[in-house]
Amino acid sequence: MSRNRAVWSAVQPAMRRLVALSFLLLFLVACAGRASSSSGDSGIRGTVLLGPTCPVETVESPCPDRPLADIEVQMLQGGDVVATVRSDSDGRFTVALDPGHYTLQAVVEAGGPGMSAKPVDVTVTSGEFLEVNVPVDSGIR
C-alpha cells in the first residue's frame, strides 16, 4: 500500500502540470479565436470624397465631390481602432470586417486636404460588403 502512495505522490505533480498546461492551451486558443480577423466574406467598400469643391454650385455648373487619394480611414468599435486602410488613387478602399457596428473616420491632418471629416456609422452584415462614402469637408463656403 505504501508503494502505491509513493507512486501516486510522484505522479500528482506531473498530472497537475499537465492539467495546468491544458487549461493554459485552451485559454490561448479561446483568446486567439476572439482576436482573429474577419473571414473575408463581409466588410466595407468605400470612397473618401472631398466636398464641396466649388464655392457656388448651380444646375448649369455642377460641382460634385471628388475622390480623395491617400487618406487613412479608421474603423472603430466602441472607440477602439480595429482596422485601418488608406484610400487608393481613386479614393477607394476595401476592408474585410466581421459583422457588427462600426464608426468610420477619415483622418485628416492639419494643413492637408480637407478641414474636417465627419464620422460615418455603419453596420456590417455577414456575407456582404457595404458600400459607403466617407465625407471630408473641404471648408469651401
Q: What is the pLDDT of residues 62-114, one digit of tens each?
A: 888 999 999 999 999 999 999 999 999 999 999 999 999 999 999 988 766 66
Under a CB-based contact definition with an 8 Å cutoff, are residues 120 and 94 in contact? no
Among the listed residues 10, 14, 49, the one whose alpha carbon sits nearest the alpha carbon of residue 133: 49
Res. 27: pLDDT tops 80 = no
The pTM assigned to this predicted structure is 0.68
Where do the domains of the chain lie?
A: 1-36, 43-137
Looking at residue 103, what is its pLDDT? 98
Specify the higher pLDDT residue, 122 or 15. 122
Looking at residue 62, what is its pLDDT? 80
Q: For the domain bounded by 43-137, which CATH number is listed?
A: 2.60.40.1120
Res. 56: pLDDT tops 70 = yes
Looking at residue 60, what is its pLDDT? 77
Specify the higher pLDDT residue, 24 or 134. 134
